[in-house]
Amino acid sequence: MSIAYTSPWWLPGGNLQTIWPSVVTPEPRVSYRRERWQTPDGDFIDLDWLPWIEGAPLLVLFHGLEGSSQSHYARAMMHAAQTRGWNGCVPHFRGCSGELNLLPRAYHSGDSAEIDWVLRRVMDQHKPTQLYAAGVSLGGNALLKWAGEQGESAQSLVRAVASISAPLDLAAAGHALGRGFNKLYTRMFLGSLVKKSLEKLAQHPGLFDPDKVRAARDLYEFDNLVTAPLHGFRDTDDYWARASAKPWLSKIRVPALALNARNDPFLPAEALPDVSDVSASVTLEYPATGGHVGFAVGALPPGSLVWLPHRLFNFFERNP
């Protein structure tokens, strides 16, 4: 177990600007093959796959809140996987693939049961030689919670796991997003979440009060009205407490990287786990900058995400 306070511009062997002369690049284009899986409870999820390479390692990437395989970080990491000769897959949480899911439920930050089902089916169906998993933001929290719950048995499925900008303490993250400038992020997420919730209500009338959902001012109110009751939690406080990965970090027994920028508006630096909170299998890496799933490099905005995939694969390749 270790904790590192590095700059996003650090790389083993030199500076990014030296290794990649042009770091201000457009987002890479990635071609996927879509696969639909029926879930055990009668719903479905969609997974987007890179072209399969027999015998190559596989990276399964779980996206963040309202993300998808087309999110900037997903495209950057899948492009990096492809250039390294890896296989890659982005499973979509329910309702995030462009089509509303069927059941009166959606997805949430602590849905480790869904993570478990996806990883086990990937292993059973595709039998990769080496399986690695990463999660971004919400997906990273759910993945590390899964790894903690599984303990030693996680090693039978994955070689290593990594989280990027995960809100490991959901209460601290939720309250941070309800304050000051961060309310801009909240409004952005609520715009999408409220729209989907009203579509879900049309599909399953009576789930919740549509007027109250439209009036939700922050994620605390939204989770109280929608996320918590749809997924078996008493209220927002119960959901945030039980779904947070932080209490599970000490139980992780598979190599794990938790990468969080100290200036991430989604999780205050003082809420980040310390070495006393995690097992010896967990590497805590807290760059000074990087924001929320940013870690861009380059002299001009918007920069490039080449550092993030490099760091991720560097960690995985050290855990073959």
Q: Which residue has the tokens 């991720």?
A: 312
pLDDT attached to residue 13: 25
Give residue limits of the domains in the chain: 2-169+245-317, 170-243
- Integer Cα distance of 242 and 234 in angstroms: 10
- Identify the helix (H) or strand (E) that includes residue 257: strand 256-259
pLDDT attached to residue 296: 72
pLDDT attached to residue 15: 29
Residues 6 or more apart in contact with residue 314 via CB below 8 angstroms: 12
Mean pLDDT of residues grouped by 10 in the chain (320 residues)? 40 29 56 98 98 97 97 95 97 98 98 98 97 98 98 98 98 89 85 97 97 96 98 98 98 98 93 98 95 73 75 96
pLDDT attached to residue 26: 52
Residues serving a catalytic function are 137, 264, 292
- Integer Cα distance of 49 and 42 in angstroms: 22
Q: 219 — phi, psi (to 5°)?
A: -70, -30
* 2-169+245-317 has CATH 3.30.70.250 classification: no
Other CB atoms within 10 Å distance of the CB of residue 300: 7
pLDDT attached to residue 199: 97
pLDDT attached to residue 180: 77
46 forms beta bridges with 36
User: pLDDT tens digit string along 122-170?
Assistant: 999 999 999 999 999 999 999 999 999 999 999 999 999 999 999 999 9
284 forms beta bridges with 3, 258
Give the amino acid at 167.
P
User: pLDDT tens digit string along 20-56?
Assistant: 333 334 567 899 999 999 999 999 999 999 999 999 9
- Integer Cα distance of 65 and 72 in angstroms: 13
- Integer Cα distance of 77 and 49 in angstroms: 12
